[in-house]
Amino acid sequence: MLQATQSSVQYASRTKLLDLAYSTAQKQNLKKVQAEIAQGSKIFYWLRALDYDAYLTQEQREKIWYCLIELADINDFPIAPTLGTVNRPNINVGGTTTITNNNTYSDGTPFENTDVDTGTETVVSIPVTDDYGAIFHYTIRNGVNQRSGVVIASWLSNGSSVVYSEDCTEDIGDTSDVTLSVDYNSGNIRLLATATSNNWTVEGKYYLIHS
């Protein structure tokens, strides 16, 4: 049996509801956005139905989920098989060495700078202790302009050398006004955002790479 995660469907649907409310709220002539208002209202009503979850059968619940997935244009929505409780996998690498995958997404440390303006700003600053590298998963956004990506950084413990690379999605809209970099400053590794316009948000999670 395939089972979508209800909280994921609700979260994505509420994101769509917010985007539709925001776009229609900017229009003076509501007749031109009647379809969007109807779409947003339906999402709200369907979500409200899930509030009465305790009274629904699994079949009814799934019908609402699929309606929401279609209604909210949730493309490529992850529908995973029901696996029950799954232990984190162990990966054997040669001999007896074992790498345990315990670095799930929820283990990362969140960071955000919700107001990156023209110039260079620190997004996150990490004290250099026993770590020699980090992976930054990020999203940069400003209105309808957005990209997501990964910055990988490595440094010597005294900060004398810092290298980094970036891999990212194509832009939704245009995010070329913002570039990311990594430097060492006073015992801290910093993820920096350099912008040529105002009001950008840079957020995500980072994972330290231990020696």
Partner 1 sequence: MALDVTLSVDISSDRLTGTLNDDTTYGGSNPSRAALRVFADGYKMTADNTATTLTLTSNTSDPQTVTSWDFDISEDGWFKFYYVAIPAYAGGTTYAIYDAVYDNDNTVYRSKQNGNVGNALSNTTYWEVITDPAALAANLTETNESLNITSLIYQRVLTPNSEYAYSNMIGENCSCSDCDENETIYDYQIFSFWLNGALVADERTEVVKGETICRRIASRFIDC
The correct pick among 8, 37, 179, 205 for binding partner 1 (CB under 8 A) is 37
Give the span between the Cα atoms of 61 and 55, in whole angstroms: 10
**What is the per-residue binding string for partner 1 in 165-204, x denoting contact by CB under 8 A?**
---------------------x-----------xx-----
Four-CA torsion 21, 23, 25, 31, nearest 10 degrees: -100
- How far is residue 71's CA from residue 108's CA, in Å, rounded to a whole number? 32
Among 122, 148, 154, 181, binds partner 1 (CB under 8 A): 122
> Residue written as tokens 């493309």?
75
Q: CA–CA separation, 40 vs 151, rounded Å? A: 35
End-to-end CA distance of the chain: 42
Tell whether residue 21 is a contact of partner 1 (CB under 8 A). yes
CA 81 to chain centre: 22
Q: Can residue 20 be called a binding residue for partner 1 (CB under 8 A)?
A: yes
Among 3, 6, 24, 146, binds partner 1 (CB under 8 A): 24
Choose the stretch contacting partner 1; rule: CB under 8 A; options: 37-45, 68-76, 97-105, 152-160.
37-45
Least Å distance between CB 75 and partner 1? Answer: 20
Gap between the Cα atoms of 148 and 190, Å rounded = 19
Position among 25, 83, 86, 91 found at the interface with partner 1 (CB under 8 A): 25
Alpha-helix runs per DSSP H in 4-111: 6-25, 34-51, 58-71
Q: Which is nearer to partner 1, 17 or 182 (CB)?
A: 17
Q: Is 113 in the site for partner 1 (CB under 8 A)?
A: yes
List interacting residues with partner 1 (CB under 8 A).
Answer: 14-15, 17-22, 24-26, 30, 37, 40-41, 44, 113-115, 120-125, 186, 198-199
